[in-house]
Chains A and B, each alone.
Chain A
Amino acid sequence: MNRSQFDLAVGAFVALGILALLFLALKVGNLAGFDTGTAYVIEARFDNIGGLKVRAPVKSAGVVVGRVESISLDGETYEAVARLRISSAFRFSKDTIAIILTSGLLGEQYIGLESGGIPEYLAEGDRVMKTQSAMVLEKLISQFLFNKAAETPGQTK
């Protein structure tokens, strides 16, 4: 084999390898998502975030519009502070409600945004004023038991 045949084979090898990397990045992963685009960060405070994780999706009407960037605890109010990175393509009014929802019965938790009607929009660093915490199963059950007990006063087993 002479030099140019080596070059050809190696060139084809490198091109094939880069093609495989592109396939992984674009088709297997999703580089075309808006992690690359411009975005703004807003803040939402919850009493309880349940099992919400960093990088969980932020959805509006079921469509992914951003990701949870970080989660921390406010040491004074004991509220969980979630910072949400929202794609600049979407604007949400100042009275948007942020709710922690679960996809499916056992699926991952995500934040749902429901936009309000005020024609002023959330900008970088703003805080979502209305939030609704995650549903914690134990609290739901105890609430249900209390309600049950309240319905039938005087009856004991």
Chain B
Amino acid sequence: MKADPISLLTSLGHAVTSRLDRLGLAARFAFAVFRVLGVVFLRFGLIIRELYFSGVRSLSIVIVSGLFVGMVLAVQGYEVLQRYGSTEALGVIVALSLVRELGPVVSALLFAGRASSAVTAEIGLMRATDQLAAMDMMAVDPLARVIAPRFLAAIFSLPLLAALFSAAGVCGAWIIGVKLIGIDDGAFWSQMQASVDVRIDIVNGVLKSIVFGVAVGLISVFEGFFAVPTAEGVSTATTRTVVTSSLAVLLLDLVLTVMMFRGLN
């Protein structure tokens, strides 16, 4: 590639237009998926199957990660809190950081790696082996039959997984804090209950994970549906799902956090 200004500008222009093109394609695809969402409820068995593969199979990784994250938070939080002689506030710190941030975000990242990548690979392979085209020939809308159930399964399962992550994390912090370090059990729970607000903290956390579910679910089906129908294309699409989902989750988290928690005090 030559480095003269004209070709540099050309490549910049191409990079911008191709990205805008893809963004527009994603928006039109999202619109088309939302239009067929209603049809899926007529065949509820399809969602059940996807809930099993996306949600149930992610249970173990989410619960175990939550347990470990809670334990680490307890160890680190105790280290800092004991300098100020307020170790009873450990429950507050762990619960707030889990319910507000780590629960929705980390479970969405795990979900992107564990479930969304599989969805993309599955749909991409369907594309590569012309199964989607065959469905079209049989007058079966692949958007309603293949895409929509997987998308809905992500929206349904992510809030539940995030709640399980947070609950497991609080239990992990309790094991470390109360059972091993020896913080007072009553103070641990009562300070937590006094500081964690159901509407501000828990409901906002659930809302966050629903938004993440929409983003991660949409990215995974989009990348799969428009994967280049080759072995390399499917592998690229799978990688892109994980990378794009992770970035989207972190960016959305910043936006949502600013919207939800700024100016609370």
| A residues at B contact (CB < 8 Å) | 3, 6-7, 9-10, 12-14, 16-18, 20-21, 23-25, 27-31, 35, 53-55
Contacts and interface: CB of A to CB of B under 8 A. Distances in A.
* Cβ-closest 8 pairs across A and B: A17-B160, A20-B167, A30-B193, A20-B163, A29-B198, A29-B196, A20-B164, A21-B163
Contact of B194 (A18, A30, A53): A30
A89 B193 CA distance: 21
Interface centre among A27, A29, A30 (most CB of B within 10 A): A29
B52 A29 contact: no
Contacts, number: 83
Contacts of B99: 24, 28-29
Contacts of B167: 20, 23-24, 28
26 contacts: A3-B48, A10-B48, A10-B52, A10-B55, A13-B55, A13-B56, A17-B159, A17-B164, A18-B160, A20-B160, A20-B163, A20-B166, A21-B206, A23-B170, A24-B167, A25-B202, A27-B193, A28-B99, A29-B197, A29-B198, A29-B201, A30-B198, A31-B198, A35-B198, A35-B199, A55-B197
B45 A3 contact: yes
Given A9-B52, A10-B51, A23-B167, A17 B198 contact: no
Given A6-B48, A13-B52, 20 more contacts: A10-B52, A13-B55, A13-B59, A17-B159, A17-B163, A20-B167, A21-B160, A23-B170, A24-B166, A24-B170, A24-B202, A25-B198, A27-B189, A28-B95, A28-B99, A28-B166, A28-B196, A29-B99, A29-B197, A30-B198
B48 A7 contact: yes
Contacts of A24: 99, 163, 166-167, 170, 202
B202 A28 contact: yes
A54 B201 CA distance: 16
B147 to A, nearest CB: 19
A149 B51 CA distance: 76
SS of A interface (majority)? helix
B120 interface: no
A24 B170 CA distance: 9
A53 B263 CA distance: 11
A92 to B, nearest CB: 22
B221 interface: no
A28 B206 CA distance: 14
Given A3-B45, A9-B52, A29 B193 contact: yes
B238 interface: no
